[in-house]
Amino acid sequence: MKRDLSDSAATSFFPAVAFAAALAFSPLAIGAAPVVRIDGSSTVYPITEAVAQDFQRAKLHEVHVNIGVSGTSAGFAKFCRGETDVSNASRPILKKEMDECAKAGVRFYEMPIAYDALTVVVNPQNTFVNSLSVAELRKLWEPGAKGRINTWKDLNPAWPAQKINLYAPGADSGTFESFTEVVVGASKSSRSDVNTAEDHAVLAQRIADDKDALGYLSLDYYVENEKKLKAVAISDGKDAVLPTVANIRNGSYQPLSRPVFLYVNEKSLEKPAVKDFIDFCMKNAARLVVEANYLPLPARAYGENLERVTARKVGSVYGGENKARPRPEDMRKLLEALMHGS
């Protein structure tokens, strides 16, 4: 189960507000407790949420962790302005974002934290869509599909002539960027007649409430709502595969598997609270990533993240592109590049 930082489910939608309220009513005066500032991806939020809860307990709440959920792109904008210590990201940092960080003098460490799967879902009342090919997804989501692919029959002649209502994360979401990159072939290229929400929990509920819905979201939010959503198996020239942990681990759920990241401001690590948080995160990530319904990296990977800090290996191995889709067995090469690259 996803755990909430204030032990109240309602605050999962307003994490920054919840933290501020908790601090206001704590024995510590405002400003007295060190604060770790995090923002960015709603996909990665459940992981940092779980880490923050355990970390604050371990620190007897003498350190405060403030997590916002503005989406990967908006999170990077704040990060590159120096407004946050850590940026949650469901895709690699882009060249233009790297340039903004460089202009502001923000150097960073790129830390893979888990594996996720973009999960295509329909309403459980939909009994005829059990699998889709990547080609069918492209046909449905590409910009030219607006006004042309409006019903299930338009997509597959064997299906009924019922309207399709599409749902997706908002334009600031790394999930949106990753999905469009992989499926359509260009980041942020999508038909415009789509219902959007930055919060994946809101997205899941809207799909659950609409019998004609089809959408996509992060694996965690599907797992949290699997009683009211139906996952669709995906084929890419081979047999259709469901987004299960086993299929992500063995590399068969392609091309919608992806690594997700933390980006850490190098200067922020001079603050004891931030350094302690990152140390705690990497030493406990294998357990907490599983609790957050994601697939952990190999155990050694988290130690290598910390070793890169010691070695001052800053920057990104992706070269500012969101094109890398390494399978779990290829993650070792990625980690070696992160560790030993310049």
First to last CA, the chain: 39
Q: What is the mean pLDDT of the chain?
A: 87
Q: What is the mean pLDDT of residues 51-79?
A: 96
Name the band, by pLDDT with cuts 50, 70 and 90, for residue 319.
confident
With beta carbons less than 8 A apart as the criterion, state whether 116 and 258 touch: yes
- Residues 6+ away with beta carbon under 8 Å from 22: 5, 6, 64
The proportion of the chain whose per-residue pLDDT surpasses 70, expressed as a percent, equals 84
In the chain, domain spans = 9-115+259-340, 117-249
Q: Report residue 34 CA to chain centroid gap.
A: 26
pLDDT digits (tens, 9 = 90+) for 265-318: 999 999 999 999 999 999 999 999 999 989 999 889 999 999 999 999 999 988
Can you give the pLDDT at residue 323?
54
DSSP state string for 234-284 = EESSSS-B---HHHHHTT-S-SSEEEEEEEEETGGGGSHHHHHHHHHHHHH
**How far is it, in rounded angstroms, from Cα 338 to Cα 24?**
40
Domains 9-115+259-340 and 117-249 share a fold: yes
What would the CATH number be for the domain defined by 9-115+259-340? Answer: 3.40.190.10
Can you give the pLDDT at residue 317?
86
Between strands 213-218 and 108-122, the pairing is antiparallel
Is pLDDT at 20 greater than 80 in this prediction? no
pLDDT digits (tens, 9 = 90+) for 138-161: 999 999 999 999 999 999 999 999
What would the CATH number be for the domain defined by 117-249? Answer: 3.40.190.10
Beta-strand ranges (E) seen in the chain are 35-40, 64-67, 86-89, 108-122, 131-133, 165-168, 195-196, 213-218, 230-231, 233-235, 257-265
Can you give the pLDDT at residue 37?
99
Residue 84 has which token pair? 């946050």
- Residues 6+ away with beta carbon under 8 Å from 190: 141, 142, 143, 168, 176, 180, 184
